[in-house]
Structure 1
Amino acid sequence: MRIIIANYRYFIAGGPEKYMFKFMDAAEKMGIEVIPFSVNNPRNEKTPYSQYFAKPRSNQLMYADTKKSLGNLVGMVRATVWNYDAEKRLRRLIRDTKPDAVYILHEVNHLSPSIIRAAKKEGVRVVHRISDFFMFCPKYDFLCANEICEACLHGDYRKAIEHKCVKGSKAGTLLRVMAMKLYAATKVFDDVDQYICTCEFSKNKLIEGGISKDKITCVPTFIDATSITPCYEDDKYFLFLGRMAHQKGTIYAIEAMKYLRDTDYVLKITGQISDSEEDQKIWNYIKENKLEEKIVFTGFKHGKELRELISHSTCIVCPAIWYENMPNTVIEAYAYGKPVVASRIGSLAEIVEDNKTGLLFEMKNSKDFSDKLRKFIDEPTLSMTLGINARCKVEKDYAVEKHMNSVIRILEGK
């Protein structure tokens, strides 16, 4: 079997790229040829297929790095709405390689849904994996002013425009809304043969948004747990993994530590405080509440250091305030034999089994959060008990073979 995997980055920048490279490795071990299609960028991994990659919409692939020159902005508009260059190049790649299917991960704003139409014009099966809510929310995350908002779910974008939801820009929001209306008018997403969601929550949201349930299959993500040795001991600290973004709810983890001053436990956060306004607010909160000794910023960790940090934690915390779409953090924690304490929201309430593989708390309720964390302090064996369950779950539900077999069947149209 030969497939093209399409993603707007061909270097690791987040969850979709981690999944992409893991999928490619696993597929190749199964004897499946995987051909990448992406946007040209100096950070890309080497591949002989880069000659087919689309031109970048500007000189940078990260919005924050993009110089807002007239030429770059025109390029961004073209790529955001309908990228004719990507469409043309994918059609040429399909003709030259004759794949059995195109597996799309993330195309919005760079490759654009033009690649869906390109594959369809060439008569190739299209499977689209959904990792956020870009089809229905201009901002992708169903958040407005840090509150859950589904006002745009059924195509009414007035609130998004009013609140300048796309990067605080009215022009940016209007551009995104214009693109979404174009996709609805051209019915380009109808050209997708099958959608893959990672959890039932996301699947139900797609159905609410008008996608036929017959075109959606739930296939959880995967991890090679056999390469990870679980550790059921801990060094008395709770661990927050990932970037400190408002939707990740970092502040609620910090607030929870106010109620645990009487304990020896600390909260460790991978990363460091930056000069951004949001990070400075967090740092000021820590100082004002004299929590410097309870909050430890470890700096960014990779490889062995990160593995050891996870292995010796009491639990991993996920205080998200948005509909997390099955974050890798949870699955990785399970593989290390670590329970997860998470907000009762979205997919987190689905994949964290309360009192079995972790604990759930009321979203944004730092007191309830701290009460759940205190359980690990009051019951020293709780971390091990839940951690063993978590490891069993990851081996059963998120195994490489299970995931790959499911996805390959979908790509084959079976």
Structure 2
Amino acid sequence: MRALFLCHNHPGLQPGGTEVFAHGLFRALRDQHGVEGMFLAAVTGAHRERRPGTLLQGIGTATDEALVWLGHFDRFGLAQPDTYGLASLAPVIEAMQPDIVHIHHLLQFGVETVDLIRRAAPRARLIFTAHDFFPLCAQEGQLLTTDGRLCRGPSLDRCQACFPGRSGADFVMRELQMRDVLGEFDRILTPSEFARGRYLAAGYPARQVQVMPNGIAAMPPAPHRPAPDGRRDRFGFFGHLNRFKGGMVLLDASRRLSAEGIAHGVTLHGGTAWQSEGFLAGFSAALEAAPAARHHGLYQGAALPGLMAQVDWVVVPSIWWENAPLVIQEAFLHRRPVICGGIGGMAEMVRDGVDGLHAPVGDSAGLARVLRQAIETEGLWDRLAANIRPPLSLEAAAQRHHDLYRDTLGARAA
């Protein structure tokens, strides 16, 4: 079996959840199931300087991974007008003639790439994993309004409220194009039931959209932090710091706890790249106002066990629905209860009062109450930690994907 993977970045340059899983899945399929192929990661000058005269560049010593330089991407229409860059992919795809093309994001590659693949490899079966809601939502694919309200799904009035400068025709044409492009795929995968429900509510056919959970690479769990007095009051945040991930909400919750005289510690691990000056100024001010909080910056995956060993709880204070956050899988792998919003993919992964706690979304006072409950409720941490189920392994996820690929190819043969 030959498989071509396309992702909007490479985890070596941007270690986001989608990039980490897509890359890990590609390697697991190669190593466990003998799947041959190529992992193509789209990048721009913001991620790595382009070498003159090159559009594709290898990654280290890997012969089956490459970066593809693409520019001028239109995030509203998920369009890639860089026809010269896209044309460089055609010979690669034609020579490879993949059986399966698995696209993990339309960002950077754009909808035009799907048509290019259809022409270059007409017999390939196409798989798309919807790691977020970009095909449904032009507002950064998060079903979150510009003023921070949760959105159930696209409608002309709601979409125009987020983009007052856009005409109604723009949204109609965008929706029609997304339906046309995604209609080319044999399967649309979502990592959560919640995400599948959003695509079905938007009118995508149930036979095409199915849940396929992400997996995580196995590793020995980090030891629990010694707590002779039984007090579990160390909270960790892991992930990119932006307004969607809720780091500011956590900082204000920590400030409130300190003002109430509640001893605790909050550590934030993650970078702040590509954030506006306004956000960075607000983050610095919020950090200064929270004496029990510390920001330790960007971290590498290899450092995660050591960082987990220093915390009792993992907090996921995202203000949008989320889909299937990798950080929750990481927390459960290391046997840390999770405190998160009781919505979307977070609520689906974390069972309130069983292996974690749900907190009000975007409400720092509500989050502070839950953090205080976590600290002061005797025996709570031990009970929740004991109930944690191991997350799906990357190996198991690879097996499920391999079975899906075979099933899809079998449907073609039939």
Normalising by the smaller structure, the TM-score range is: 0.7 to 0.9
Give, in angstroms, the shift of residue 130 of structure 1: 0.7
Counterpart of 1:249 (choices 239, 246, 254) is 246
Give, in angstroms, the shift of residue 104 of structure 1: 0.5
Question: C-alpha separation between the residues in 2 aligned to 1:113 and 1:266?
Answer: 45
Question: Does the 8 Å CA contact 2:104/2:129 hold for their aligned counterparts?
Answer: yes
Counterpart of 1:34 (choices 37, 46, 54) is 37
Mapped pair 1:214 → 2:214: no
Amino acid at match of 1:138: A
SS in 2 for 1:268: strand
Question: Does the 8 Å CA contact 1:4/1:102 hold for their aligned counterparts?
Answer: yes
Per-residue CA deviation, residues 295-320 of structure 1 (Å, 9 max, x unaligned), is 11223333554422212201010111
Counting only pairs closer than 5 Å after superposition, residues 87-98 of structure 1 correspond to structure 2 as: 88-98=87-97
Question: Does the 8 Å CA contact 2:3/2:102 hold for their aligned counterparts?
Answer: yes
- Alignment partner, residue 52 of structure 2: none
- Alignment partner, residue 266 of structure 1: 265
Question: C-alpha separation between the residues in 2 aligned to 1:176 and 1:17?
Answer: 30
Counterpart of 2:197 (choices 199, 204, 228) is 204
Question: Does the 8 Å CA contact 2:99/2:125 hold for their aligned counterparts?
Answer: yes
Question: Does the 8 Å CA contact 2:5/2:103 hold for their aligned counterparts?
Answer: yes
Give, in angstroms, the shift of residue 79 of structure 1: 8.1
Q: Note closer, same or farther for the CA distance 1:81–1:160 as it changes in structure 2 (3 Å cut).
A: farther
Question: C-alpha separation between the residues in 1 aligned to 2:249 and 2:386?
Answer: 27
- Alignment partner, residue 335 of structure 1: 333
Question: C-alpha separation between the residues in 1 aligned to 2:38 and 2:364?
Answer: 46
Amino acid at match of 1:333: A
Farther off after superposition, 232-241 or 216-225: 232-241
- Alignment partner, residue 104 of structure 1: 103
Counting only pairs closer than 5 Å after superposition, residues 5-404 of structure 1 correspond to structure 2 as: 5-10=5-10, 11-13=12-14, 14-30=16-32, 31-39=34-42, 42=48, 45-46=59-60, 48=63, 55-57=69-71, 80-81=79-80, 84-85=83-84, 88-108=87-107, 110-121=108-119, 122-139=122-139, 140-144=141-145, 145-150=147-152, 153-154=154-155, 156=156, 159-164=158-163, 170=165, 177=171, 180-181=174-175, 183-184=177-178, 187-225=180-218, 227-233=219-225, 236-261=233-258, 262-271=261-270, 276-285=277-286, 287=288, 290-291=289-290, 293-303=291-301, 305-379=303-377, 381-390=379-388, 392-394=389-391, 398-404=392-398
Question: C-alpha separation between the residues in 2 aligned to 1:380 and 1:373?
Answer: 13
Question: C-alpha separation between the residues in 2 aligned to 1:159 and 1:381?
Answer: 45
Question: C-alpha separation between the residues in 2 aligned to 1:48 and 1:78?
Answer: 33
Q: Note closer, same or farther for the CA distance 1:160–1:81 as it changes in structure 2 (3 Å cut).
A: farther
Q: What TM-score comes out, normalization by structure 2 length?
A: 0.81
Q: Note closer, same or farther for the CA distance 1:252–1:55 as it changes in structure 2 (3 Å cut).
A: closer
Amino acid at match of 1:245: N
Amino acid at match of 1:260: L
Question: Does the 8 Å CA contact 1:27/1:34 hold for their aligned counterparts?
Answer: no
Give, in angstroms, the shift of residue 105 of structure 1: 0.6
Question: C-alpha separation between the residues in 2 aligned to 1:298 and 1:359?
Answer: 25
Give, in angstroms, the shift of residue 228 of structure 1: 2.5
Report the structure, 1 or 2, having the larger helix content: 1
Give, in angstroms, the shift of residue 18 of structure 1: 1.0
Amino acid at match of 1:80: A
Q: What TM-score comes out, normalization by structure 1 length?
A: 0.81
Give the aligned length. Answer: 380
Amino acid at match of 1:326: A
Give, in angstroms, the shift of residue 250 of structure 1: 1.6
Amino acid at match of 2:29: A
Amino acid at match of 1:239: G
Runs of at least 4 residues of structure 1 off by over 6 A? 76-79, 173-176, 272-275
Identity %: 18
Give, in angstroms, the shift of residue 377 of structure 1: 1.8
Give, in angstroms, the shift of residue 189 of structure 1: 1.5
Q: Note closer, same or farther for the CA distance 1:275–1:98 as it changes in structure 2 (3 Å cut).
A: closer
Unpaired runs of at least 5, structure 1: 64-72
Amino acid at match of 1:37: L
Unpaired runs of at least 5, structure 2: 50-56, 228-232
RMSD: 3.2
Question: C-alpha separation between the residues in 2 aligned to 1:107 and 1:194?
Answer: 15
Amino acid at match of 2:202: G
